[in-house]
Amino acid sequence: MLVIEAKLKGTQEQYRKLDEAIRTGQFIRNTCLRYWEDNNGVTRNDLQKLCSVLTKNKETPWTRKLNSQARQAHADRAWVSIQRFYENCRLGKPGKKGYPKYKKFSRSVEYKNSGWKLSSDRRQITFTDGFEAGTMDLWSSRDLVWYCEKQISRVRVIRHADGYYAQFLVDWDRREEHEFQGKMIGIDLGLKEFYTDSEGNTVENPRYLRKSERRLKMLQRRVSKKLIKEKKQSHRYHKARQALAKQHLKVSRQRGDKARKDALALVNSNDLIVYEDLKIRNMVKNHHLAKSISDASWYQFIQWLKYFSKVHGVIVIAVPPHNTTVDCSCCGAKVKKTLSTRTHRCDRCGTVLDRDYNAAKNILAKGFKLLAQYLNSTVGHTESDLKKVKAQGETDLWLNNGDALALSRLNELRTKISWESPAIPRRG
Ligand SMILES: [Zn+2]
């Protein structure tokens, strides 16, 4: 899968029609949700049927304007969130189970294979459903010309703070040549540095949000000043609100780009990458750390890491985050530290290392153990088995870093990993 995003250039009237389509999609999704709440044993099929009922209903004739496949796509959106909720309950996830919510401010509408048409030079798109948004120019740095229309399985129209965009989902399996060099690395995601690897290298932490914070605050003040309570808001208020939204958008794009580039660079120069499976969601709840963590965009980084590792055929292992900062990477002794202790000093073996460097080494060692278990216990198993191995106890069977036999087996494993098409991380 591949996503190509293009800005839509049209008139205000055309944008207004796209807004109408977005609202209709939202209405269909919410109606499906209501139907599920009000009835027992609702299936996906019931929701699909509900779409055609809606178009025949005298009170909602405008739902007919939205392309039929698009209507179904929005019924599916409701279905997906219902399924996710059931799945969370089934797995017994702690905390909120993600009970489906009604959408108030949807920003996108989804088309499948119909309701739109590309011009022969692929520079224009025409929306052909009942909203009659018509033909609009596509502005994109990437060319749609290389893909045939049949490969495009979905078009999503999104309203951002700086305009309207079309995202084309292209069925295309991306695979890159990756020269195997036997390089293995562990990384410790941190707040001081974005990450520190097991060779002591660091990648700086982009504090885009911090840098832009003053500007954000200033823009936020402007919005608050112009807010009139219990009255229709002024033109000046909406201008200010838009400027604020644009600044937020800019920051989130910067974050996303940096996460993608860092992940690609790491995958390009390694054959095995081990990282700590942090419960980022739980950590963001901790307010002292929250801002820095979301700022550091670890989540996006990990998503891209998984994506690129599949594209390049590189192995990525997540290890449980226990004791990685406490253990001495040299002798295994436990060295207690507070959050502010920046240096690891081991009394038993005399090792002195940067705190994060020590942790990265431990993380890599943990990854080795998991991989050893996997190699010793199984032949030709898939990635999901690696996850099962994670849950089991540890063995000490591995092999020194750089061991020739280990490397050849690692390469073998690399070719065995199933080539499912990776999902592309969503933007900001
Ligand atoms: Zn030690």
Residue 183: predicted pLDDT? 86
pLDDT value for 44: 92
**Residue 319 DSSP SS3:** strand
How far is the CA of 67 from the CAs of 25, 114, 132, 244, in angstroms? 10, 7, 11, 34
Tokens of 40: 């027992």
Burial letters for 261-297: b for 16+ Cβ neighbours within 10 Å, e otherwise?
A: ebbbebbeebbbbbbbebebeeeeeeeeeeebbebbb
Q: Copy the structure tokens of residue 319.
A: 């290890």
Q: Residue 58 contacts by C-beta under 8 Å, 6 or more apart in sequence?
A: none
pLDDT at 327: 93
Phi-psi region of 232 (alpha: psi -120 to 50; beta: other; left: phi over 0): beta
Centroid of ligand 1 to alpha carbon of 392 (angstroms): 26
> Can you tell me which residue has the tokens 């990993």?
417
**Ligand 1 centroid to 368 CA: how many Å?**
19
Strands 352-354 and 163-170 come out as unpaired
DSSP string covering 15-26: HHHHHHHHHHHH
184-206+254-416: CATH topology is: Nucleotidyltransferase; domain 5 (3.30.420)
Residues within 5 Å of ion ligand 1, judged at the Cβ atom = 328, 330-331, 333, 346, 348-349, 351
R_g of the chain, CA atoms, integer Å? 25
Burial tier of 246 (Cβ tally within 10 Å: 0-12, 13-18, 19+): middle
Question: What's the pLDDT score for residue 392?
Answer: 36
Q: Distance from first CA to last CA of the chain, Å, rounded?
A: 18
- Ligand 1 centroid–CA 330 distance in Å is 5
- Rounded CA-CA distance 26/29 in Å is 5
Minimal CA–CA distance to 342: which of 111, 183, 188?
188
- Contact (Cβ atoms closer than 8 angstroms) between residue 310 and residue 173: no
Question: How far, in Å, from the CA of 393 to the mean position of ligand 1?
Answer: 23
Looking at residue 284, its pLDDT comes to 58
Q: Taking the domains of the chain in order of start, what are their residue ranges?
A: 2-170, 184-206+254-416
Whether the model pTM is above 0.75: no
For residue 336, report the distance from its CA to the centre of ligand 1, in Å: 12
Calculate how far, in angstroms, residue 337's C-alpha sits from the geometric centre of ligand 1: 14
Ligand 1 geometric centre to CA of 332 (Å): 6
Judge whether 78 and 47 are in contact, CB under 8 Å: yes
Contact 317/272 with Cβ under 8 angstroms? yes
pLDDT in the model for residue 198? 94
Q: By the 8 A CB rule, do 158 and 165 touch?
A: yes
Ligand 1 centroid to Cα of residue 355, in Å, is: 13
Question: Which H or E element spans position 218?
Answer: helix 208-226
How many Cα neighbours within 13 Å face the side chain of 287? 0
User: Could you list the pLDDT tens digit for every one of the 428 residues in the chain?
Assistant: 778 889 999 999 999 999 999 999 999 999 999 999 999 999 999 999 999 899 998 888 889 999 999 999 999 999 999 998 998 888 877 777 888 999 999 999 999 989 999 988 888 999 999 999 999 999 987 777 777 778 888 999 999 999 999 999 887 777 778 887 878 899 998 877 889 999 999 988 766 667 776 787 889 899 989 888 878 888 899 899 999 989 888 877 887 888 889 999 999 999 889 998 776 556 656 666 556 655 567 888 888 888 888 788 788 888 887 888 899 999 989 999 887 888 999 999 999 999 999 999 999 998 888 777 766 665 444 444 444 444 333 333 333 334 445 555 665 665 554 444 455 565 54
Rounded distance, CA 49 to CA 52, Å? 6
Expressed in angstroms and rounded, the spacing between residue 324 Cα and the centre of ligand 1 is: 13
